Amino acid sequence: MKVAQFASFGSPAKVIECVKVPDLNDPKDNEVLVDVLACPINPADVLNIEGRYGVTPNLPARLGAECVARVKKVGSAVDDFKEGDIVLPLDRENWVQQKMVSDKNLILLPSNVDPLQLSMLKVNPATAYLMLKKYVSLKEGDWLIQDAANSGVGHCIISLAKLEGIKTINVVRRKGLADELKNIGANIVLEDSENLAEEVRDLTNAANIKLAIDAVGGNQVLRLGDCLAEEATILNYGLLSGKNIEMTSYQTVFKRLILTGFWLMPWLQNMSREKVFELYNHLAALIDKNILYVPIEKTYNLEEIRKAVAHSAGYNRSGKIILTPNGPF
């Protein structure tokens, strides 16, 4: 079978490769053998290849934080899954044609939903959900502001906030995104600029904004901070600009803004199995109802991994890049 792996850190389009490895044996006891149907390329995968992620893998390393898969064979002690089931593996190293997963690490997904959408279930919807629910208590009619709002996470934040009646100000870095984001429920879409705080004040009637969600860092945080009310929270979850976060002493001392960070991995590690299952069943149901939907720009075979990763790292995309390791479906 084929897998994607890299043997040294560096430019994703140069160091990642598709290699042949021996096929997997039949599953034992509680093991489940699955065919990987689809797996997205996330910015975290790119950071991982560049050696800039929160954990450093031993090399050569396989990649891919998430996928959707179809059960091929089950071990003799597996009761909850059968051949043909569509499943979410909770472990990593998903850019492969097949993998062996413990039945404890699999979540059964609906079989009538677009697998490409389900392939993006594990990381971004869960990130958006936890960031909305676990940091600042927002109620119907409250506002939040986010940047990189046209990203996968950004789409999920807009859709989940809308469900709760929370209004969103969505900052993007280029023109032409307002219609798409308003169609899924964005209240305000603004291109980032030096006048951001003034525009936000005018458009929200000087609302008290208690939460900013930031994936960019650098001086974008400075401008988000100027849009916020006193004692508001800035929740940083990405490093898209590659620059350290900037804030002023006025923001930290006199406005008493709170800066904190979000990383999904420790959240999932610290949640009980029941809570993790509850979270993903809830989010899968929202994908099933089309409440959560993230646009896709292109799918690639595993053999085209270099092209796919380069495409994904290039940005200005209309949607995610997805690998289909066993071919298109």
Ligand X SMILES: NC(=O)c1ccc[n+]([C@@H]2O[C@H](COP(=O)([O-])OP(=O)(O)OC[C@H]3O[C@@H](n4cnc5c(N)ncnc54)[C@H](OP(=O)(O)O)[C@@H]3O)[C@@H](O)[C@H]2O)c1
Which residues have a catalytic role annotated? 53
Minimum distance, C-beta of residue 320 to ligand X, in the bound complex (Å): 5
In the complex, the smallest distance separating the C-beta of residue 153 from ligand X, rounded to whole angstroms, is 4
Binding mask of the shown chain, residues 13 to 32, with x at each position contacting ligand X by CB under 6 A: --------------------
Would you give the binding string for ligand X spanning residues 71-110, x where CB under 6 A is met?
A: ----------------------------------------
Question: Which segment (6-14, 123-131, 224-232, 275-283) binds ligand X by CB under 6 A?
Answer: 123-131
Nearer to ligand X, 137 or 316 (CB): 316
Amino acid making up residue 106: L
Residue 276 CB, shortest distance to ligand X, in Å, is 15
Q: Which residues pair with 69 in a beta bridge?
A: 36, 87
Give the C-alpha separation, 260 to 112, whole Å: 39
| Helix intervals (H) in the chain | 12-15, 43-50, 115-118, 124-133, 152-163, 178-183, 196-204, 220-227, 249, 264-270, 273-288, 305-313
Amino acid code (one letter) for 169: I
Q: For residue 278, what are its two tokens?
A: 């509850």
What would the two tokens of residue 294 be?
Answer: 């993230």
Beta bridge partners of 108: 87
CB atoms within 10 A of CB 85: 18
Q: Please report how close the Cβ of residue 48 comes to ligand X at its closest, in angstroms.
A: 10
With vertex at residue 241, the alpha carbon angle to CA 239 and CA 11, rounded to the nearest 5 degrees, is 85
- Binding mask 160-199 vs ligand X (x if CB under 6 A, - otherwise)? -------------xx-------------------------
Using only the alpha carbons of the chain, give its radius of gyration: 20
When binding is defined by CB under 6 A, the residue of 5, 119, 127, 168 that contacts ligand X is: 127
Q: What angle do CA 245, 246, 248 make, to 5 degrees?
A: 145
Q: Tell me: does residue 159 bind ligand X (CB under 6 A).
A: no
Q: Note whether 223 binds ligand X by CB under 6 A.
A: no
- In angstroms, the CA 38 to CA 35 distance is 9
264 binds ligand X (CB under 6 A): yes
List the one residue from 97, 117, 151, 251 that touches ligand X (CB under 6 A). Answer: 151
Query: What SS3 class is residue 77?
Result: coil
- Residue 199 is which amino acid? E
Q: Name the closest residue to ligand X (Cβ).
A: 238
| Of 136-144, 162-170, 223-231, 310-318: span binding ligand X (CB under 6 A) | 310-318
Nearer CB in complex with ligand X: 70/320: 320
Which of 44, 101, 157, 245 is the binder for ligand X (CB under 6 A)? 44
Taking the C-alpha atoms of residue 154 and residue 147, their distance in angstroms, rounded to an integer, is 8
Cα gap 62→21, rounded to integer Å:
12
316 contacts ligand X (rule: CB under 6 A)? yes
From 7-15, 40-48, 160-168, 205-213, span contacting ligand X (CB under 6 A): 40-48
d(CA 294, CA 125): 10
Reduced to 3 states (helix: H, G, I; strand: E, B; else coil), residue 12 is helix
Smaller CB distance to ligand X: residue 124 or 159?
Answer: 124
Nearer to ligand X, 6 or 237 (CB): 237
Q: Looking at 118, 123, 190, 308, which residue binds ligand X (CB under 6 A)?
A: 123
Residues 28, 16: contact at Cβ < 8 Å?
A: no
Interface with ligand X by CB under 6 A: which residues? Answer: 42-44, 123-124, 127, 148, 150-153, 173-174, 215-216, 237-238, 240-241, 262-264, 315-317, 320
